[in-house]
Amino acid sequence: MRDFPSCFGESGVQIADAASSSSSAGKGAAQNLVTCLYQAQFSGRPCVISVTWSKSLMGQGLSIGVDGLSGQSLCKAEIKPWLFSKKKGSKSLDVDSGKIEIFWDLSGAKFSTGPEPLEGFYVAVVFDLELVLLLGDMKKDAYRKTGMNRPMSNAAFVARREHIYGKKIYSAKAQFCDNGQFHDVVIECDAVSLKDPCLEIRIDKKPVMQVKRLAWKFRGNQTILVDGLPVEVFWDVHSWLFGSSTSNAVFMFQTSQAPEKSMPWSYSQIFRESQLQGLGFSLILYAWKVE
C-alpha cells in the first residue's frame, strides 16, 4: 500500500516536484482509495495523469499527479475539498516543458459510499493552454473557467486501482475499456470458516470464474469474456489463507495479458508501465477482510 499517494498535509492544496513529494506508509489501509490513470498528450508528447480520490474519517480528498513516459514526476497536486475554501479553485506550476494548470470545482459534488463524486463537479488539467483532461459532468463550467471550448485530444482511461472491503463478498463497479459499459464485479470467497475454500467471481450477477481447492491454487490466472473481449484475471489470495486477519488479497483484470517479465505480481509496475506498452486496460482490486 506504500505506493499510494497520501492526500493529507498541512495545507489545503500542495504542489510538489518529485524531489519534495512523499507518501505515507500505512495510510492506504486506513482510507478508501481509488486511483485512475489516463494517457494524455502534452503538446504532442505522451504523459500519464493519475487521479486519486480518497475518503477517510476526516472527509474526501483528491490527489493529481502528472508523469512523463520515463516515469519522472512533472507535478503533483493534493487537494482537501472538505476545507470549504478549497472546494473550488485552481493551481499552476511551471515545469521544464511548459505550464501545467489544474482547475477543480467540488462545491456541489454528490458522493455515494465511495470516495469518487458521482455528479456535480469537474476536474480539469490544462497544459500550455491546451485542455488535456476533463472529468465530471459540469463541462460548461469547466470550459468557462479554463477558457477552453473542448479537449484538444481525448485522454484515454487506461487503469484503475481500488480498495474494497467485505467479509465474504467484495463488490466493485468497473469499465473494462475506455467509455465502455459499467459492470458490477463481485468476488466471493469464505477463506476462514471453510476447510476447503472456493473462489468465485461474478460479472453482472453471472458467474464467470470459479477456483476450487484454493489452498493449492492461491495464485493463478484465467481468461474470461466481458463485452465479448477476453479479460485475463489474476488472483493472489495467499494472505487471506495464510496471513494475518488484516491481510488483503489482490485481483487484477486486464484486457490484454501482461508480459511474463512483469510477473509475478508486480502490481505497481503493471499499473504504470503496462499501459504505456499498449497492453490494454487494467483493474486492480485490493480486497480487505472486515472482521
Least confident of 135-139, 186-190, 263-267: 263-267
Q: Are 57 and 77 found together in one domain?
A: yes
Instruction: Examine the pLDDT at 72 and tell me if it is beyond 80.
Output: no
Do 146 and 76 lie in a common domain?
yes
- Closest by CA to 206, choosing from 219, 188, 179, 192, is 188
In terms of DSSP bridges, do strands 248-254 and 282-289 run parallel, antiparallel, or are they unpaired?
antiparallel
Whether 112 and 169 map to the same domain: the answer is no
Residues 79 and 62: their CA atoms lie apart, in Å, by 5
How high is the pLDDT of residue 31? 58
Given a cut of 70, is residue 274 above it in pLDDT?
no
pLDDT value, residue 12: 28
Mean pLDDT of the region 15-26: 30
Sequence length of the chain is 291
Q: Which of 135, 154, 173 is the last residue of a domain?
A: 154
Cβ atoms within 10 Å, residue 223: 10
**Whether pLDDT at 123 is above 90:** yes
- Residues sharing a CB contact under 8 Å with residue 42, sequence separation 6 or more, in sequence order: 97, 98, 127, 128, 130, 132
**pLDDT for res 176:** 81
Spatial strand order of the sheet with 156-166 comes to 13-16, 73-79, 59-68, 45-56, 32-42, 156-166, 282-289, 248-254, 229-236, 219-226
* Residue 24 clears pLDDT 50, i.e. is over it: no
Does 183 lie in the same domain as 57? no
Q: What is the mean pLDDT of the chain?
A: 77
| 161-211 pLDDT per residue, tens | 999 999 899 999 888 876 678 899 999 998 766 678 899 999 999 999 999
> If you ran DSSP here, which 8-state letter would residue 136 be given?
E
Same domain, residue pair 18 and 150: yes
Q: What is the pLDDT of residues 139-162, one digit of tens each?
A: 999 999 999 877 666 788 888 999
Count of CB atoms situated within 10 Å of the CB of 277: 11
Q: How far apart are CA 16 and CA 139, in angstroms?
A: 27
pLDDT, mean of residues 41-45 = 79
Question: Where among 97, 129, 154 does a domain terminate?
Answer: 154
The pair phi, psi for residue 247, each rounded to 5°, is: -75, 160
Collapsing DSSP states into helix, strand and coil, what is residue 143? helix
Based on the fold, state whether residues 88 and 197 are members of the same structural domain: no
- Tell whether the model's pLDDT for residue 110 goes beyond 70: yes
Read off the C-alpha cell for 280. 490494454
* Whether residue 260 has pLDDT greater than 50: no
- Compare 78 and 70 and report the one with higher pLDDT: 78
More confident residue, 102 or 257: 102
Rounded-to-integer distance, Cα 251 and Cα 2, Å: 17
One domain, residues 135 and 224: no
What residue spans of 130-255 are helical by DSSP H? 139-146, 238-242
Check whether residue 46 and residue 91 sit in a common domain: yes
On whether both 220 and 113 belong to a single domain, the answer is no
The answer to whether position 7 is within a domain reads no
Check whether 238 has a pLDDT greater than 50. Answer: yes
Q: Is 131 found in the same domain as 19? A: yes
Amino acid at 224: I
pLDDT at 156: 85
> In this structure, is residue 4 part of a structural domain?
no
Q: Which among 250, 273, 282 is positioned nearest to 174, based on CA atoms?
A: 282
CA neighbor of 238 nearest in space, from 202, 169, 191: 191
**Domain span at 220:** 164-289
